[in-house]
Structure 1
Amino acid sequence: MFDYYMTRLHELTVVLYAFCVLLYFIDFLHHNRKANRVAFWLLAFVWLLQTMFLFLYMLKTGRFPVLTIFEGLYFYAWVLITLSLGINRLLRVDFIVFFTNVLGFIILAIHTFAPVQFESHVMAEQLISELLLIHITLAILSYGAFSLSFVFSFLYLIQYNLLKKKKWGARLLRITDLSKLEHMSYVLNVIGVPMLMLAVILGIQWAYLKIPEMFWLDAKVIGSFGVLIAYSIYLYLRVSKELYGRSLALWNIASFLIVLINFFLIGNLSSFHFWYT
């Protein structure tokens, strides 16, 4: 029973860490100090949980946990989180903090969902199933954000054409102004991109555990990377190139078409769906 509750706490740690990465991503793009503060204290709580787990493991084994790859991964994740907290508090280098935490999340996820840590085959299989559940949940949430972003971009184009053709009327008044439509579309993509990135990380780990042969060439993996790249380019165009207006809305709509292709068409070509059942 104790091992069961410890496993649940490890999974909670991964979920909390995922929220940290999301908030640090927002801060990375916009220098949002409020998001940075919330992420810092959330990460501090994750660090506290990890330190507690590390201490309990040392009490159980009677040694410092670095003698195996499995132990080393956990200590490595702990070191990365510790360094991230120090950099965030002392140096305030957002670029380093964000990517350090992405790496830390990858290492922590590999450690948490590695079935070799469990003597019980049933517990190991249950953990892999829960890894899949978290992966699917994050992916669907990101697709939901992209869907709403698409709606805002589509409304942007409608409003843009109405204004260009000077078609005044009730329809024009019912659609909000262009700047708000564009802003909401962008905000939803800022939320969706890190969610999809974390979903891809967890999905790759699940695929490695369940179908390690040639999973990199699976259509679903390639399609997911395609979606992630398309929306990353959108954020790059918006933030670095300061692209606005109709062109950006068209790119966002094109990116959502890739989402639909990946979800409906490529999903049917993927070997992953065989394993979902």
Structure 2
Amino acid sequence: MFNVIYLITIILYCLSVLGYFIDFIQNNRKANRIAFWLLSIVWVLQTTIFLLRMAELNRLPILTQFEGLFFYAWVVVTISLFINWYFRVDFLVFIANVFGFVMMAISLFVPTGDVSQQLSQLLISELLVIHVVLILLSYAAFNLAFAISLMYVMQHQMLKRKIWGKRLLRFGNLSKLDKLAFIMTMFAFPTFLLGIILGFVWSSIELGELPFTDAKVISSLVVLGVYAVYLYQRVVKLVRGYTMALLNIAAFLLLLINYFMLSRFSEFHLWY
């Protein structure tokens, strides 16, 4: 049943993203509505999968690479649906869920099994669970900030080149996009920081050391520093607009490198 539900979820997610893409290209409101309801069904199925796996493993399913990718996609769908329902930012759900769908698609190619019993005994602790949840929540929020910043850059270029039309109007005004990107980053930054701190605390308690020389830890601190620069420029220097959107995009690309590439060189995240 788990495999069947997961396959159906992937197919519906693909159709939803396709519907949003058609709307983006053709300004097709009907495709947008169908895509929204398909994405809502995807969220229900994702939640069902999450609960089934939690009941099967008797723990919060976020510790393996498969579970992390799935949880990431679930959070992206959840937050994007919320923003779309309350703020009505057209195209945001499409751009954000391209990444959510990619994460779920990648999860098809990683092992779905549980961690070993010995490793499970080491990992099952409140500190580590909170650490992983906070990190994945921050990743999803940074994802949405990236999507909003990308929309800002696209609209800025359309205005600069005087490309008028319905699509331009549906992006919303630039100041609203700038504010939403800032809000999402403001939520994600302290969440990411707290996640890193709790990771250090867990490592100190369980392993008796602080992994400052680990590749993924170093890269995570670099990513944190880049987002700190963004917030400093935005809050203290009062910088707005195109430059800040580009900085937010660059920071998220660094985050992707940190998540996918540098994890391979990590000696600390043994289970991921």
Query: What's the TM-score, normalizing by structure 2?
Result: 0.53
**Which of 218, 222, 225 in structure 2 is aligned with 1:226?**
222
1:130 is displaced (CA, Å) by 2.2
1:266 & 1:196 partners in 2: Cα distance?
Answer: 17
Q: Deviations over 1:188-228 (max 9, x none)?
A: 01101110111011001122234345611011211111111
1:264 is displaced (CA, Å) by 0.6
Q: How does 1:104-123 map to 2 (within 5 A)?
A: none
Alignment partner, residue 9 of structure 1: none
Larger Rg: 1
| Gap runs ≥5 in structure 1 | 1-124
3-state secondary structure, aligned to 2:261: helix
Alignment partner, residue 180 of structure 1: 176
1:131 is displaced (CA, Å) by 1.3
Alignment partner, residue 203 of structure 1: 199
Alignment partner, residue 100 of structure 1: none
2:209 & 2:134 partners in 1: Cα distance?
Answer: 25
1:127 is displaced (CA, Å) by 8.6
Cα–Cα, structure 1 residues 226 and 191, in superposed 2: closer, same or farther, change >3 Å?
same
3-state secondary structure, aligned to 1:271: coil
Q: Deviations over 1:37-95 (max 9, x none)?
A: xxxxxxxxxxxxxxxxxxxxxxxxxxxxxxxxxxxxxxxxxxxxxxxxxxxxxxxxxxx
Q: Which amino acid aligns with 1:224?
A: S
1:216 & 1:188 partners in 2: Cα distance?
Answer: 28
The answer on whether the counterparts of 2:204 and 2:210 sit within 8 Å (CA) in structure 1 is no
The answer on whether the counterparts of 2:152 and 2:174 sit within 8 Å (CA) in structure 1 is yes
Alignment partner, residue 267 of structure 2: 271
Q: Deviations over 1:1-35 (max 9, x none)?
A: xxxxxxxxxxxxxxxxxxxxxxxxxxxxxxxxxxx
Q: Deviations over 1:69-123 (max 9, x none)?
A: xxxxxxxxxxxxxxxxxxxxxxxxxxxxxxxxxxxxxxxxxxxxxxxxxxxxxxx
Alignment partner, residue 8 of structure 2: none
2:168 & 2:187 partners in 1: Cα distance?
Answer: 28
Q: Deviations over 1:112-162 (max 9, x none)?
A: xxxxxxxxxxxxx67962211100000000111100000000000000010
Q: How does 1:149-160 map to 2 (within 5 A)?
A: 149-160=145-156
Alignment partner, residue 189 of structure 1: 185
3-state secondary structure, aligned to 1:244: coil
3-state secondary structure, aligned to 1:272: coil
The answer on whether the counterparts of 1:128 and 1:206 sit within 8 Å (CA) in structure 2 is no
Alignment partner, residue 133 of structure 2: 137
Q: Which amino acid aligns with 2:228?
A: S
Q: Which amino acid aligns with 1:247?
A: T
Report the structure, 1 or 2, having the larger helix content: 1
> Are 1:245 and 2:264 matched, yes or no?
no
Alignment partner, residue 253 of structure 2: 257
Identical residues among aligned pairs (%): 45
1:214 & 1:205 partners in 2: Cα distance?
Answer: 8
| Gap runs ≥5 in structure 2 | 1-120
2:123 & 2:217 partners in 1: Cα distance?
Answer: 21
Question: Cα RMSD (Å) of the superposition?
Answer: 1.9
The answer on whether the counterparts of 1:146 and 1:188 sit within 8 Å (CA) in structure 2 is yes
1:267 & 1:126 partners in 2: Cα distance?
Answer: 19
> Are 1:164 and 2:160 matched, yes or no?
yes
The answer on whether the counterparts of 1:146 and 1:192 sit within 8 Å (CA) in structure 2 is yes
1:128 & 1:200 partners in 2: Cα distance?
Answer: 17
Alignment partner, residue 146 of structure 1: 142
Alignment partner, residue 13 of structure 1: none
3-state secondary structure, aligned to 1:216: coil
Residue-pair matches, total? 153
The answer on whether the counterparts of 1:150 and 1:252 sit within 8 Å (CA) in structure 2 is yes
